[in-house]
A and B are shown apart, each in its own frame.
Chain A
Amino acid sequence: MAEPTTAGPAPQPEPLARSPIPTLTPTAIVAGWEVTDRSSDASTRLADLSPLAKVHVRASEDGALAAALDVRFLKAARDDYGVLITGSGPGEWTLIGPAGTAGDIAGRLSALDVDERITIVDLTHGRALVRLTGDAGSTLLATVCAVDLDEHTMPDGTCLRTSVARVVTDLVRDDRDGVRSYLLHCERSSGAYLAEQLRQVGEAHGLGVEGFAAAGR
């Protein structure tokens, strides 16, 4: 048996983070993540946004943190930093922000002076995240999701969790410049499957794939 080694680590190359969803060429590096780098002029588009920071926070449903975040369950809104706060469960929020900012988001949450115990977990690596933008988005989702996504049941700034193509998925309505857009995130290991299902269903709707940067976060 070898002698116990106590030497510190040797210098290492910068690590590369990969999305669970296979990238398409050309690629680029954003905040240490390999991402697809392309645009699409299709009217309905799918983008892999898995590198976005995703911070999960738990507290009581109607306590001090809930008041401070001011986003109720099933609602979604952006804060002053542009972070999308989603009321992803009762007493549970998922905050989605620019790639590489999970630490900042968690830091700001910790710094909130709330009079209750909260739990912050960085789930950036634990969730696959895609954005589906365009007019056919809700039509396309109606083939994989049994929940009514009509304007009056799921307007911009709302979220819910349901089964999408038999995977438990968080669905956030987050329109871009007045164009209907959905964020979908599920646990990471199902991400490639979910994205592939959306792509297949989207074939009939001329779904295009756009890159990380083109999807505008």
Chain B
Amino acid sequence: MITLSCPWCGPRNVTEFAYGGESGARPDPATATPQPWRRYLYTNANPAGPVTETWLHRAGCRRYLVVERDTTTNEILAIRRPGGAPSTSARHATTGRATEQRP
């Protein structure tokens, strides 16, 4: 089990955090068309290597965090507070009710 070093609380077991998925740009809903919107909703790059993700320190400070992680080694390259960059974890219900839907 890796630890994530929360910028607020310090290193904690990853089990204290909730995974929010890859971060990606949210299209402007006012002008969105179905295809890019559904790409935003449902597709991930899932790279073997560095990826930017959203995590929530659920059992700690309850802050949302931006984490850059290497998926091949679990090395944490950067971890910081969200700075205006949209988090794709907002796409789906954290309750897990909204599930797979193909575009």
Chains A and B touch (C-beta atoms under 8 A apart): yes
- CB contacts (< 8 Å) of A160 on chain B: these are 9, 60
Tell me which residues from 1 to 52 in chain B have a Cβ below 8 Å from any Cβ of chain A.
Answer: 8-9, 12-13, 15-16
Closest chain B residue to A168, Cβ basis: B59
- CB contacts (< 8 Å) of A147 on chain B: these are 12
- Chain A 140-168 near chain B by CB (<8 Å), digits 1 or 0: 00000011000000000000111100001
Which residue of the partner chain, among A73, A74, A90, A162, contacts B16 with CB atoms under 8 Å? A162
The complex places the Cα of A168 from the Cα of B59 at a distance, in Å, of 5
Report yes or no: A161 in contact with B15, Cβ–Cβ below 8 A. no
Number of residues of chain B lying within 8 A (CB) of chain A: 12
Report yes or no: A73 in contact with B8, Cβ–Cβ below 8 A. yes
Tell me which residues from 45 to 101 in chain B have a Cβ below 8 Å from any Cβ of chain A.
Answer: 58-63
Number of residues of chain A lying within 8 A (CB) of chain B: 11
The complex places the Cα of A90 from the Cα of B16 at a distance, in Å, of 17
Closest chain B residue to A166, Cβ basis: B59
**With known contacts A73-B8, A90-B8, A146-B13, A163–B59 Cβ distance under 8 A:** yes
- CB contacts (< 8 Å) of B16 on chain A: these are 162-163
The complex places the Cα of A74 from the Cα of B9 at a distance, in Å, of 8
Say how far A193's CB is from chain B's closest CB, in angstroms.
Answer: 16
- CB contacts (< 8 Å) of A89 on chain B: these are 61-62
Report yes or no: B60 in contact with A162, Cβ–Cβ below 8 A. yes
Which residue of the partner chain, among B8, B59, B63, contacts A162 with CB atoms under 8 Å? B59
Closest chain B residue to A147, Cβ basis: B12
The complex places the Cα of A74 from the Cα of B12 at a distance, in Å, of 14
Task: Give me the interface of B with A, judged by CB distance under 8 Å.
Answer: 8-9, 12-13, 15-16, 58-63
Task: Give me the interface of A with B, judged by CB distance under 8 Å.
Answer: 73-74, 89-90, 146-147, 160-163, 168
Q: List 10 A-B contacts (CB under 8 A).
A: A90-B8, A90-B61, A90-B63, A146-B12, A146-B13, A146-B15, A161-B60, A162-B12, A162-B59, A168-B59
